Chain A
Amino acid sequence: MNPFSSETRLRDMIRAIRACKTAAEERAVVRKECASIRAAVSDNDNGYRHRNLAKLMFIHMLGYPTHFGQMECLKLIAAPGFPEKRIGYLGLMLLLDERQEVLMLVTNSLKQDLNHTNQYIVGLALCALGNISSAEMARDLAPEVERLLQFRDPNVRKKAALCSIRIIKKVPDLAENFVNPVASLLKEKHHGVLLTAIQLCADLCTVSEEALEYFRKKCTEGLVKVLKDAVNSPYAPEYDISGIADPFLQIRLLRILRILGHGDADASDLMNDVLAQVATKTESNKNAGNAILYECVETIMSIEDSGGLRVLAINILGRFLSNRDNNIRYVALNMLMKAISVDGQAVQRHRATILECVKDPDASIRKRALELVYLLVNETNVKPLTKELIDYLEVSDQDFKEDLTARICSIVEKLSPEKIWYIDQMLKVLCEAGNYVKDEVWHGLIVVITNSTNLHGYTVRSLYKAIQTSGDQEAVVRVAVWCIGEYGDLLVNNIGMLDLEEPITVTENDAVDVIEAAIKRHTSDLTTRAMCLIALLKLSSRFPSCSQRIKDIVNQSKGSLLLELQQRSIEFDSIIEKHHNLRSALVERMPVLDEATYSGRRAGSLPAVVSTSQGNPLQIPNGVPKTMDAPLLDLLDLSADEPAPQNSSGPNFLQDLLGGDVLSSASQSGTTQPQKGGTDVLLDLLSTGSPPAQNGSSTADILSISQDNNNNKTSVDALNSLSSPMVTSVQSTPASSIMDLLDGFGPSPTVPKDNGPAYPPLVAFESSSLSLIFNFSKQPGSPQITQIKATFTNKSSDIYTDFIFQAAVPKFLQLHLEPASSNTLPGSGNGSITQKLRVTNNQHGKKSLVMRIRISYKLNNKDMLEEGQISNFPRDL
């Protein structure tokens, strides 16, 4: 049997696989092949090993698992002949990656092959090592590779040079060993060796500063000369690509000169002439020539300044930019981004062309161009550029809109000269692509709106118009609903008209119509609807005449399946219905939101902005240092990265928004004391998103808030206390209206005035004659320890003597009994015995207390015994 006849059988398998009509058929063929290969593997069949491996590689390419063939590769590599090794190394590179343990086993074979007398076997080993070497292998085999850099055949030297790149990337410490051999390789004439040596040299320079210095001193001149020769070389068919002599070599030379010239005036001086020559002499009608020009421009931009050359480079880019070939335009945009830090003015000249590229049908070009425009925008050109971009937004692809809106919003935010312009532009963006903008964008817009007091009327009227035309854009709807809720009165009465505005007539009913439409729109999500409810509540006070209508709309959500909406509508309904006296204070306008802190908080979540390679980082205007003590920060951290304090299922920020409104209106507008208490309670009623089951704790929160506010704490504290279920005493008597409100929400517990948490006394044991009552107390700071005061009372007429109380607890508790106050218990409830117990709960918070008790005493000299188990301790002891 001929061991080298694998070709036919491999062909047969490929044919069989290609003949398969369905994936199932293919799987069956592959399964059969894999089974026979596995059998051959376990038989250790030498003859077909390389044929099997070839098949496995094909199967691997189809995406099937082939790990069982890995050891076969090693066996083939260990075989003596070239054909076996050739396929073995190929399999090794294909089936394994550097993270596999099997690779360690091949190190020894590689070492032998690197020292082999057959140069092609050496070549195979170098190739494998260069492609898949791990750090350990690199360390072990570096001396062999280093030696091979001086091998007699240039084809081995070039492979060794590339292999060295892999080695120094894996183990940068080894770099210094390669510096001297490379310096001598750079003097060679063989193109392959030269190419690879230059590449190795470039990589050495990036890992080692000393290597860079060394090459800069010793080799710059030589490399300049090599480039000069390459540019001026006569036609050489072997290396010619469309009339240019070895563009690959020229590109690599330009690249190494860039590295050597960067930051060094002397080295840069040396290469000026040759760069000018490349820039002017290279033909730009073919890709190869453009590739060289592209590299050359980059080198000119990176080396030390030489005015003339830069003009040349910018001109080349200008030519590129107007090229009809998309590839050339793409690289031009790419390079202009780097050039912008070198010569911003020159790049600005191409602004119109770049702007055209934003509208290119090619997504890659659009993306590049958009990033470049983003870098080009400054105070002087922001208005025309933004106009262009927004105009384009109308016609752009759906999948490009997200990027585009993000950039436009970022530009507008960064450079807007005045607020009215900002608001106008943002409205345009929202109208065009409101479904594509991120939440931060419209949150930010609301912050700006609240800050521009004189524009409130203008804004709400613009939004009113916008929602008529672009009611299908979620973000428009949200902002409009929010603003109409806040500034509805300005809308109806045309207050704060600007000169440029045309007056519009909007009745109160029209305004409510808008909100009603928004809440009923089937595409509105929970957030929008919840915002609508709040807006309605606010309007109910702003437009008293529409109050009944608003109430009807709110009522429609009472049956909502969404808890958030249902609860909100029930609460709001009760406010509209019953509490006219406090409603106006409750729904007062939001205070001005703090712009600096909001943007400071937001800066962290902004997408990273492209910066130029020249280390000229963009100034992100939002990078304002975050002020920690901003009370309203939480209110607007709509994109909250930390979990919000409440535990509701709905969007928390709405509650916060409303809560903040109420809170600050309470603390700013000097309403009277009882009303203040009332609003605070309402605050929590409104903002608590907890399910009804938690009524007990939410009322506790109400109380804590009212106390906090009475103590004139900041609103943030009040909000914080929402999250901690702390029961504190009530110092101010709530107004009667509070009690009404509380009616619907369960009884309010009586709260003892005490520092630590308090627990009701527990009747631990009761018989017809004897009762035992436990009183609990805890030391603040040690929640797991409970002090229990046991009080025994004798209800019978007889006296109990020799009274002994015993108790037992499970293992997770520790019990300490103190001596009883007496051992005689007088009858008829005329006295009592008290005894103190101390229980330490090692699983506090997880398990509650449980206790067995035994009480023995003598009644008329007769022994009596009572036993019982107490498992109804308060849960959190």
Chain B
Amino acid sequence: MIHFVLLISRQGKVRLTKWYSPYSQKERSKVIRELSGMILSRGPKLCNFVEWRGFKVVYKRYASLYFCMCINQEDNELEVLEIIHHYVEILDRYFGSVCELDLIFNFHKAYYILDEVLIAGELQESSKKTVARLVATQDSLVEAAKEEANSISNIIAQATK
């Protein structure tokens, strides 16, 4: 089970956090501090696993961002690396060659996509296409509602002119 997902920039800024196990707000910031210290200081050629408080943290760096997932001792680290990559590829498809700025300004989108990949700390969907389709459908639902609201306000504006 994945206990939490963290996206940390190389400067130690938090770009996304998702907690599947209960951590209080205080613990959360402590965890982030501890882990960013441990992970950001590791050299490039070392393995992608860090042992931490009886758990393992699997991390992978993509450009300036570190994607970290915390798992149990007995979980499959290599698979989690694959899950991270799976998520990154979906982000890449969605934003079209994703960069850190996309994730800053559209952080909520990153969350929506993550929610289509993981629930309760478990993988939900292995098809990138399906995830992309589901997110796109929901985005279009929002767009439709927006347009509807626009046209209503236009009608009201017309009527009150």
Contacts and interface: CB of A to CB of B under 8 A. Distances in A.
* B and A form one assembly: yes
Interface string A62-103: 110100000000000000011100110010011001110000
Contacts of B88: none
Interface string A779-799: 000000000000000000000
Contacts of B34: none
Contact of A130 (B47, B105, B119, B130): B119
A613 interface: yes
B108 A87 contact: yes
Contact of A131 (B20, B112, B130, B146): B20
B84 to A, nearest CB: 11
Interface string B90-119: 000000000000001101100110010001
B105 A14 contact: yes
Question: Interface centre among B22, B45, B78, B108, by most A CB within 10 Å?
Answer: B78
Given A83-B141, A291-B81, A295-B79, A61 B108 contact: no
A364 B42 CA distance: 10
Contact of A291 (B24, B48, B79, B105): B79
B150 A2 contact: yes
A341 interface: no
Interface in A338-374: 361-365, 367
Interface in B25-73: 25, 29, 43, 45-51
A90 B120 CA distance: 14
The range of chain B's interface size is 35 or more
B8 to A, nearest CB: 11
A199 B150 CA distance: 44
Given A62-B14, A97-B25, A361 B46 contact: yes
Contact of B119 (A82, A159, A288): A159
Interface in A178-234: 191-192, 195-196, 199
A87 B141 CA distance: 13
B161 interface: no
Interface residues of A, number: 73
B47 A61 contact: no
Contacts of B25: 65, 97
A416 B51 CA distance: 31
A4 B145 contact: yes
Given A86-B138, A131-B20, A155-B134, A196 B46 contact: no
A97 B47 contact: no
Contact of B141 (A82, A238, A328): A82
A288 B82 contact: yes
Contacts of A123: 134
Interface string A588-614: 000000000000000000000000010
B82 A4 contact: no
Nearest to A160: B119
A361 B43 CA distance: 10
Contact of B149 (A4, A54, A162, A334): A4
B126 A54 contact: no
A11 interface: yes
Interface string A7-19: 0000100100010
B49 A295 contact: no
Interface stretch (A27-35, A242-250, A476-484, A655-663): A242-250
Nearest to B138: A120
A90 B82 contact: no
Contacts of A99: 22, 24
A329 B104 CA distance: 35
Contact of A57 (B22, B46, B107, B122): B107
Contact of B47 (A2, A98, A248, A327): A327
A86 B142 contact: yes
Given A2-B153, A97-B19, A195 B76 contact: no
A120 B137 contact: yes
A65 B25 CA distance: 9
A238 B74 contact: no
A166 B77 contact: no
A670 interface: no
Contacts of A367: 51
A290 interface: yes
A853 B23 CA distance: 67
Contacts of A294: 76, 78
A239 B126 contact: yes
A326 B76 CA distance: 15
5 contacts: A2-B146, A127-B119, A192-B127, A287-B81, A291-B78
Given A158-B125, A195-B123, A334-B77, 16 more contacts: A4-B142, A57-B107, A62-B14, A81-B145, A86-B112, A94-B17, A127-B115, A131-B20, A195-B126, A199-B122, A238-B129, A290-B78, A326-B45, A328-B78, A365-B46, A613-B74
Interface of A: 1-4, 11, 14, 18, 54, 57-58, 61-63, 65, 81-83, 86-87, 90, 93-94, 97-99, 120, 123, 126-127, 130-131, 155, 158-159, 162-163, 165-166, 191-192, 195-196, 199, 238-239, 241, 246-249, 251, 255, 287-288, 290-291, 294-295, 298, 326-331, 334, 361-365, 367, 613
Interface of B: 14-20, 22-25, 29, 43, 45-51, 74, 76-79, 81-83, 85-86, 104-105, 107-108, 111-112, 115, 119-120, 122-130, 134, 137-138, 141-142, 145-146, 149-150, 153
The 7 closest A-B pairs by CB, nearest first: A291-B78, A326-B47, A162-B119, A130-B120, A130-B119, A4-B146, A362-B46
